[in-house]
Amino acid sequence: MFAYIVRRILYAFPILIGVNALTFALFFMVNTPDDMARMHLGEKHVTQEAVNVWKEERGYNKALLWNHEQQGMDKLTDTIFFDKSLSLFAFEFGQADDGRDIGEDIQTRMWPSLAIAVPVFIIGMLANITFAMLMVFFRASYLDLSGVILCVVLMSISGLFYIIGGQFLVGKIMQLVPLSGYAQGLDAFKFVILPVFIGIVSGIGSGSRWYRTLFLEEVSKDYVRTARAKGLSEIRVLFVHVLKNAMIPILTGAVVVLPTLFMGSLILESFFGIPGLGSYTIDAIQAQDFAIVRSMVFLGSVLYIVGLVLTDISYTLVDPRVRLYG
């Protein structure tokens, strides 16, 4: 297993370089360093001298990808891409265009994001699996049909409707929680309870329907008929045998949300004024702050790769037939 993990880590480096290069290309296809300087300094009445000073202070006064003025390896290394990308692999994110330390911002803002994402992930998964099991228990009945219809209805409703409707009903009409904002410590509970509830409800439709499909595929297999023939109750068959054998696709689906757990939900944080990494990324895109954008994309890619490795390792725990070889 150790050799497998080392091999996956080595494979991650060219992937991260490619992701970083793509982010760099997409960003600078839209904006040149001069455009970025004028946006931060104010587009009107900005002299070229002031633009040059801004670029020099932030390291944007070099060539983008290839420096024709240098010799040898300096043609590659004395560029904005190399200068801004190499430090990322040491998790040194540098400074934002306004001088703030990006690493400190990430450490501060990840906790509000986790306060929303972790409960949504854990409670949401438990709710989806339970609801799906309930539909499978009453399969081919009116309860099952009603559950499927409810899932389709929930899937058809836009996420913005849940957010706006929840804010209007719970926050404005009933005045049970604040409409937006955040606080530290236990006071944060009243600010995150509504976003967490909306995140869970908005995901029940698609999540439960997908789990139902997995469980229905399992209940038709021979080992389920054998378990029933031994006299096991249907509840035990579903929650012990069927659930265990459906864990591999469930774990695979859980990998996708791993970056979200850390980086936050862009829409939820923006609407509820939560100072997490999701809103941090949106603000950086609006401000054309390439330093923050590349750092967040790089961090999300690292988390996704880590999630894939952890998923492969977890396969060996839920299915003894799976072996990892280097």
How far, rounded to the nearest angstrom, does the alpha carbon of residue 53 sit from its chain's CA centroid? 36
3-state secondary structure 6-52: HHHHHHHHHHHHHHHHHHHHHHHHHCCHHHHHHHHHCCCCCCHHHHH
Domain membership flag for residue 270: yes
Q: Residue 216 has what pLDDT?
A: 93
d(CA 148, CA 242): 20
Domain that holds residue 35: 2-90
Q: Are residues 126 and 64 in the same domain?
A: no
Q: Residue 287 has what pLDDT?
A: 82
d(CA 151, CA 161): 16
Q: Are residues 41 and 174 in the same domain?
A: no
Q: How much is the average pLDDT of 87-114?
A: 88
Is residue 324 predicted with pLDDT exceeding 70?
Answer: no
Is residue 326 predicted with pLDDT exceeding 60?
Answer: no
Q: Are residues 314 and 188 in the same domain?
A: yes
Max mean pLDDT among 79-83, 151-155, 308-312 falls in: 151-155
Structure tokens, 135: 């539909």
Is residue 209 predicted with pLDDT exceeding 90?
Answer: yes
CATH number, position 205: 1.10.3720
**pLDDT exceeding 90 applies to what percent of the chain?**
31
Q: How much is the average pLDDT of 105-132?
A: 92
Q: Are residues 237 and 122 in the same domain?
A: yes
Q: Are residues 306 and 180 in the same domain?
A: yes
Question: Whose CA is closest to 110, among 298, 262, 267, 291?
Answer: 262
Q: Are residues 42 and 143 in the same domain?
A: no
| Interval 123-136: pLDDT, tens | 999 999 999 999 99
Domain membership flag for residue 324: no
Domain membership flag for residue 257: yes
Is residue 44 predicted with pLDDT exceeding 70?
Answer: no
Domain membership flag for residue 140: yes
Is residue 45 predicted with pLDDT exceeding 80?
Answer: no
Q: Are residues 56 and 143 in the same domain?
A: no
Q: Are residues 137 and 74 in the same domain?
A: no
Counted domains in the chain: 2
Q: Residue 82 has what pLDDT?
A: 83
Burial of 274 (0-12, 13-18, 19+ CB in 10 A): buried
Q: Residue 262 has what pLDDT?
A: 66
Q: Are residues 153 and 188 in the same domain?
A: yes
Give CA separation, 165 vs 32, 132, 138, 189, in Å. Answer: 41, 26, 32, 20
Q: How much is the average pLDDT of 103-115?
A: 91
Instruction: Name the pTM for this structure.
Output: 0.82
Higher pLDDT, 43 or 249: 249
Q: How much is the average pLDDT of 33-43?
A: 79
Burial of 141 (0-12, 13-18, 19+ CB in 10 A): exposed
Q: How far apart are the first and last CA of the chain?
A: 7
For the residues of 76-136, what is the DSSP string, one character each?
HHSBHHHHHHGGGGGT---B-TTS-BHHHHHHHHHHHHHHHHHHHHHHHHHHHHHHHHHHH
Q: Are 40 and 54 in contact (CB under 8 A)?
A: yes
Length of the chain in residues, anyone? Answer: 326
